Chains A and B, each alone.
Chain A
Amino acid sequence: MKARVLGAVAAALLLAGCGGTSEPGSPPSSGPSGSITVFAASSLTAAFGRIGADFQKTFPGTMIHFAFAGSSTLVAQIQQGAIGDVLASADQPNMQKLVNAGLTSGSPSIFARNKLQIVVPAGNPKHVTGLADLGRAGLVVVLCASAVPCGHYATEALQKAGVTVKPASEETDVKAVLAKVALGEADAGIVYVTDVKAAGAQVQGVDIPASLNVVADYPIVVLKDSQNIALAKVFIGYLHAKGQETLARYGFLPA
Chain B
Amino acid sequence: MASSQRNPRGFPAPPLFIGLAGLGAAFFLLPLAGLLVRTPWGSAWQLLTSPEALTALRLSLLASLSATAIALIVGVPLAWIFARIAFPGRAVLRALTVLPMVLPPVVGGVALLAAFGRRGLVGTWLEQAFGIHIPFTTAGAILAESFVAMPFLVITVEAGLRGMDLRFEDAARTLGARRWTVLWRVTLPLVRPSLVAGAVLCWARALGEFGATITFAGNFPGRTQTMPLAVYLALETNPDAAIVLSLVLLAVSLAVLIGLRDRWLGAS
Chain A contacts to B: CB under 8 angstroms: 70, 72-73, 75-76, 79, 140, 142, 145, 147, 167-172, 180, 183-186
Q: If A168-B136, A184-B118, A185-B117 touch, does A147 touch B219 (CB 8 Å cutoff)?
A: no
B235 touches A169 (CB 8 A): no
The answer to whether residues A172 and B219 also contact, given A73-B236, A147-B233, A147-B237 and a CB cut-off of 8 A, is yes
CB under 8 Å from chain A, chain B span 106-128? 113, 117-119
Q: Cβ of A171: which chain B residues have Cβ within 8 Å of it?
A: 218-219
Contact B214 A172, beta carbon cutoff 8 Å: yes
Assess A185 versus B236: contact at CB under 8 Å? Given A142-B218, A169-B219, A170-B220: no
The answer to whether B214 touches A185 (Cβ under 8 A) is no
Asked if B94 CB lies within 8 Å of chain A CBs, one says: no
Contact indicator per residue, chain B 223-241, by CB within 8 Å of chain A (1) or not (0)? 0110000001101110100
Within 8 A of A (CB), among B76-114: 113
CA A79 to CA B242, docked complex, whole Å: 14
How many Å lie between the Cα of A163 and that of B117 in the bound state?
28
Q: List 15 A-B contacts (CB under 8 A).
A: A70-B236, A72-B237, A75-B236, A76-B235, A145-B219, A167-B220, A168-B218, A168-B220, A169-B224, A170-B219, A170-B225, A172-B232, A183-B113, A185-B113, A185-B118
Task: Please report the C-alpha to C-alpha distance between residue A186 and residue B117 in the assembled complex, in whole angstroms.
Answer: 10
**B208 contacts chain A at the CB level, 8 A cutoff:** no
Kindly list chain A residues whose C-beta atoms are within 8 Å of the C-beta of B214.
Answer: 172
Q: How many residues of B contact A (CB 8 A)?
A: 21
Determine the distance from Cα of A17 to Cα of B73 in the docked complex, in whole angstroms: 65
What residue of chain B has the Cβ atom nearest to residue A146's Cβ?
A: B237
Point out the residues of chain A lying under 8 angstroms from B225, CB to CB.
170
- Which of chain B's residues 199-220 have a Cβ closer than 8 Å to chain A? 214, 217-220
- Which A residue sits closest to B221, measured CB to CB? A170
Asked whether, in the complex, the Cβ of A184 is within 8 Å of the Cβ of B236, the reply is no
Provided the pairs A73-B236, A147-B233 are in contact, do residues A185 and B219 lie with their beta carbons within 8 angstroms? no
Known: A168-B218, A169-B219, A171-B218. A145 touches B135 (CB 8 A): no
- In Å, the complex CA distance between A61 and B133 comes to 52
Of A79, A168, A180, which is in contact with the most chain B CB atoms at under 10 Å from its CB? A168
- Tell me which residues across on chain A come within 8 A of B220, comparing CB atoms: 167-170
Contacts of A142 in B (CB 8 A): 136, 218
In the bound assembly, the distance between CA atoms of A102 and B232 in angstroms comes to: 24
Q: How far is the CB of B28 from chain A (nearest CB, A)?
A: 20
Which A residues lie within 8 Å of B236 (CB)?
Answer: 70, 72-73, 75-76, 147
A171-B225 Cα distance, complex, nearest whole Å: 11
Q: How many Å lie between the Cα of A145 and that of B235 in the bound state? A: 13
Partner of A169, one of B117, B136, B237: B136
Chain B residues in 8 Å Cβ range of A72: 236-237
Q: A167-B220, A171-B218 are in contact. Are A140 and B136 (CB under 8 A)?
A: yes
CB distance from B117 to the nearest CB of A (A): 5
Chain A residues with CB under 8 A of B224 = 169
**Docked complex Cα distance between A79 and B224 (Å):** 28
Chain B residues whose C-beta falls within 8 Å of the C-beta of A79 in the assembled complex: 239
In the complex, how many angstroms separate the beta carbon of A224 from the nearest chain B beta carbon? 19
The CA of A186 and the CA of B237, in the complex, are separated in Å by: 26
Q: Tell whether A185 pairs with B136 under 8 Å between CB atoms, given A145-B219, A171-B218.
A: yes
B contact residues around A169 at 8 Å (CB): 136, 217-220, 224
Residues from chain B with Cβ under 8 Å of A73 in the complex: 236
Beyond A76-B236, A172-B232: 10 further Cβ-contacts under 8 Å? Answer: A72-B237, A140-B133, A147-B236, A147-B237, A169-B218, A169-B220, A170-B218, A184-B119, A185-B113, A185-B117
- Report the separation of the CA atoms of residues A145 and B230 in the bound assembly, to the nearest whole angstrom: 12
Report A61 CB to chain B, min CB distance, Å.
36
Known: A170-B219, A170-B220. A183 touches B117 (CB 8 A): yes
CA distance A36 to B236 in the complex (A): 24
* Residues of chain B contacted by A172 (CB below 8 angstroms): 214, 219, 232-233
Shortest beta-carbon distance, A126 to chain B, in Å?
12
Q: Which residues of A contact B113 (CB under 8 A)?
A: 183, 185
Minimum CB–CB distance for A143 against chain B, Å: 10
Which single residue of chain A is at the shortest CB-CB distance from B217?
Answer: A169
Closest-by-CB residue of A relative to B135 is: A185
B218, B232, B239 interface centre (most CB from chain A within 10 Å): B218
B174 CB → nearest A CB, Å: 55
Measured CA separation A184–B218 after assembly (Å): 14
Residues from chain A with Cβ under 8 Å of B118 in the complex: 183-185
A76 vs B242: C-alpha distance in the bound complex, in angstroms? 12
Q: Which residues of A contact B235 (CB under 8 A)?
A: 76
